[in-house]
Structures are given as C-alpha cells and as structure tokens.
Structure 1
Amino acid sequence: MCPRVSEEYKQEKKHEILRAARRVFIRKGYTRTVMQDIMDEAGMSRGAVYAYFDNVEHVFIEVLRFDDQETLRFFEPDPQYPIWNQLMDWVQKQQGDLSLIRHSLVLARAEFILSSSYVHARKNYPYITERYQLTVETMGRVIRKGQEQGEFRPRLEPEAIARYMISFLNGLMLDTFHLGPTMTCVPEQLETFIQSLCIMLDPISIET
C-alpha cells in the first residue's frame, strides 16, 4: 500500500513547482517556455509535475494566482494603520518592482494576453477577468474603508479610482520594461501618481 501524502505536503510541492515555473517565465517569457523547462527548474519528474498541472497555460495561470495573493495582502485592513499609509506602502512596492522590472512577469503576462490561444478563446481563461475584478473590488473596499473612517473624501467612486490605479501601474510597468526606467522617469511618474491620488481621494490629513 502506498503511503498517504498529506495535504500540506501536496500544497508545498505545488508551490515548489510554481516558484520554479515563475523563475522560468521570468527568464524565458511565456511563449518560449515548455513543460520540460519547468521540470528541469523544479528538479522533478514529468509525472510529478503533471500530477498538479496539465500544461504550460495551466501552470502560468496558477503562477498569476500565486503572485496575486501577495499583492492582495497589501490591501488587507489593519485598524492600527492609516489607509493612506497602506496605499503608500503599495506604491513603494511598485517602485521596487519597477527597479527590478527585468526580473518580473511583465513580459510573460504580455505574451500570454497576446497569444492566439487566449485571444481566440478567452472564455477558457476566466481567471484573467476574475483577477482584474478581484483587484478592483479589493482596492475599492480599502478606499471605502478610508472614507468610512473619515480619512478620505473621494471625488470619484472608489472602484473607478481602483481601475485608474491598476491601469496606470500596468502601463508604467510595460513602458519601463521595453524602454527602461531612465526613459520612463519612474520616480517622477510615481510622484505624479501620488499627487493624482491626493486629488481623487482628497485625504483629510496625511501622516508623514
């Protein structure tokens, strides 16, 4: 009889594969990655990897989901911490990510979104839409919390501000990837972004 494998063990093995796959996608992009690359990076057999994932597309979607969990943690409510400071922590993280843009999933994400398999069969990849909506809802909820606590007097609907935040950063990341941080003037762009948030959110007081 084969020994039973705990759920914790299976989850850790899955995460190990995802971490390895993330490194491969960063290094090679999406279109040039094959399952063998992921097996080699993870140091696992074909059977071990296919026990968790069907193909490269499946792995990539799960890598996105894995990454998104970290991003959304920035927007978990903390009653001891002002919402504005929470947003600024997120902006600071974006600045760090932009400084390491060549070591990010930006290329792989762009290649996936432009791939024929996604363009011609979007309904097969519901998580792409779900992750956007989840991020909008999570950010919007944090902004509403700031409004309820008397920190903000938003001039627009919180979800509209959240969509602006996502679009601005996604565009800046893509531009910075192919033009470089000097050309895109990342610090100045982020300062402009913060000033625009000040106008949209109209903070009653900002602690520095």
Structure 2
Amino acid sequence: MPPIVSEEYKRQKKKEILNSALACFAKKGFQAATIDDIVAHSSISKGAIYNYFKSKEEIYLELMNEQTNETNELLTEKINSFQTATERLLYLFDLYISIDPFDPDRKETIVVHYEFRLHSSRDENLRLLLQERGNRFFIDFVTKIVEQGVKTGEFKKDINPIMVANLFWTIIDGATVQAVLYKEYPYQNILECMKGMVMDTLLETKS
C-alpha cells in the first residue's frame, strides 16, 4: 500500500512549491521560468509537482489566490474598524502610500504579477479568470465603500461607485508600474496628490 499522506504534509509541500515558483518567476520572469527551474530550486521532483499543479499558470494562480486571500482577510478586518466610508477610503489610499515599491523584494513580486497579467492578455480563458478575480477581490471591495458613502450622504449622490472603484485601482496600478520602471518616480507624492483630487470629487459639500 502507498504511504498515507496527511493534509498538513500536502499543505506544506504545496507551500514549498509556491515559494520556489515565486522565487523562479522573480528571477527569470514568468514566461522564461520553467517547471524544471522550480524543480531545481525546490528539490521536489517534477512528478511530485504535477501531482499538485497541472501547469505553470495553475501554480501562479494558486500563489496569487493565497496572497490575496490572506491580504483581504486582514484588510477587511481593518476596514471594518472604521465607521465612515470617508475613513475607509482614506485608509486604503494611505495604505498604498505607505508601501515602498522600490524595496527590491517587493519590486520583484510586483514585476511577476504584472508580467502574468500581460501574459494572460493572450489567453482568453486566463484573461476572463483574472477579470472575474479582479472584480471579486478589488473592484467590489472599493465599490461597497463608495456605495456606503453615497448612502450616508458623505459622498455626492451622482457618484458612480463602480467607476470610482475602477479609478482607484487605475491610480494604484499606474503609480506602481511607474515606480517599477523609474527609480526617481515620486510615488508617494503622486498618490497623495491623487488622494486629494479623488476625495474632493467625492465629498459632499456641506452648506
């Protein structure tokens, strides 16, 4: 009989594969990195890797989902500690302003994520999968905050919450990409400026 493998063992083995994959993707780029690179980095056989994942794309998606789930749990808990939509949206802006996109480890991870997003644009199934995930984890998250602000009268009634959510992530993505490309890019200053412009657009003027 084959040995019985515990769920904890499987979880740990998957984590080893994911960590090695991220290191390989960061070093060589998503498209250039291979399963053989992950084998060499992790010392886990190719057959064992394929027991857990069918493809390099599946490894990346699992890696991304794990990171997103962990982040969203913590972020939701923090966001719920604020009472008003204004406080919640300002917190989100300030969270990204506080991030250092020039940190070498963070920069490598950012590059991996954007490389995969560009790669997915050539595969309709992957593109739709990322679009659905983006709506569920990111667009809906900000949309609910803006909807709350409109409902409570904090934000103007004619504001389109989905448009604001898309604008928010466009600002964050744009500033992040610029920071990755240009080391002198004034990342924090740009986001501070955009925060002020967005909030001025949203907030209902009190008479």
TM-score per shorter chain, which class? 0.7 to 0.9
Q: Of 125, 137, 141, which residue of structure 1 is paired with 2:144?
A: 141
Q: Is contact 1:26-1:103 (8 Å) kept? A: no
**Residue in 2 that maps onto 1:61:** 61
Once the two structures are TM-superposed, the CA of residue 79 in structure 1 deviates from its matched residue by 4.5
**Residue in 2 that maps onto 1:108:** 112
Alignment CA distance shift 1:175-1:124 (3 Å): closer
Letter in 2 for 1:132: G
d(CA) in 1 for partners of 2:150, 2:96: 24
d(CA) in 1 for partners of 2:126, 2:180: 28
Alignment CA distance shift 1:195-1:67 (3 Å): same
Q: Which has the higher contact order (CA 8 A, sep 6+)?
A: 1
Alignment CA distance shift 1:8-1:91 (3 Å): farther
Once the two structures are TM-superposed, the CA of residue 36 in structure 1 deviates from its matched residue by 1.9
Identical columns (%): 22
Structure 1, residues 14-57: CA drift from partner, whole Å, max 9, x if none? 23322222222223221221112222333322222111112222
Letter in 1 for 2:111: L
RMSD value over aligned CA atoms? Answer: 2.8
TM-score (norm. length: structure 1): 0.79
Once the two structures are TM-superposed, the CA of residue 168 in structure 1 deviates from its matched residue by 0.9
Alignment CA distance shift 1:67-1:151 (3 Å): farther
d(CA) in 2 for partners of 1:42, 1:151: 54
Q: Is contact 2:175-2:191 (8 Å) kept? A: no
Letter in 1 for 2:199: C
Once the two structures are TM-superposed, the CA of residue 122 in structure 1 deviates from its matched residue by 1.2
Unaligned 5+ runs, structure 2: none
Letter in 2 for 1:123: N
Alignment CA distance shift 1:76-1:5 (3 Å): same
Q: Secondary structure at the match of 2:101?
A: helix
Alignment CA distance shift 1:54-1:189 (3 Å): same
**Residue in 2 that maps onto 1:18:** 18
Q: Secondary structure at the match of 2:155?
A: coil
Letter in 2 for 1:114: L
Once the two structures are TM-superposed, the CA of residue 169 in structure 1 deviates from its matched residue by 0.9
Letter in 2 for 1:163: N
Letter in 2 for 1:38: I
Letter in 2 for 1:109: H
Once the two structures are TM-superposed, the CA of residue 131 in structure 1 deviates from its matched residue by 1.8
Structure 1, residues 89-114: CA drift from partner, whole Å, max 9, x if none? 43344231423266343322333333
d(CA) in 1 for partners of 2:205, 2:29: 44
**Residue in 1 that maps onto 2:28:** 28
Once the two structures are TM-superposed, the CA of residue 165 in structure 1 deviates from its matched residue by 0.8
Once the two structures are TM-superposed, the CA of residue 204 in structure 1 deviates from its matched residue by 8.5
Give every structure 1 segment of 4 or more consecutive aligned residues whose post-TM-superposition deviation is greater than 6 Å. none
Alignment CA distance shift 1:79-1:93 (3 Å): closer
Letter in 1 for 2:118: L
Q: Pairwise mapping of residues 1-208 of structure 1 onto structure 2 (< 5 A)?
A: 1-73=1-73, 74-76=75-77, 79-82=80-83, 83-95=85-97, 96-100=99-103, 103-115=107-119, 118-134=120-136, 135-148=138-151, 150=152, 152-154=154-156, 156-180=159-183, 182=184, 184-202=185-203
Q: How many residue pairs get matched?
A: 200
Alignment CA distance shift 1:79-1:67 (3 Å): closer
Q: Is contact 1:151-1:204 (8 Å) kept? A: no
d(CA) in 2 for partners of 1:33, 1:62: 16
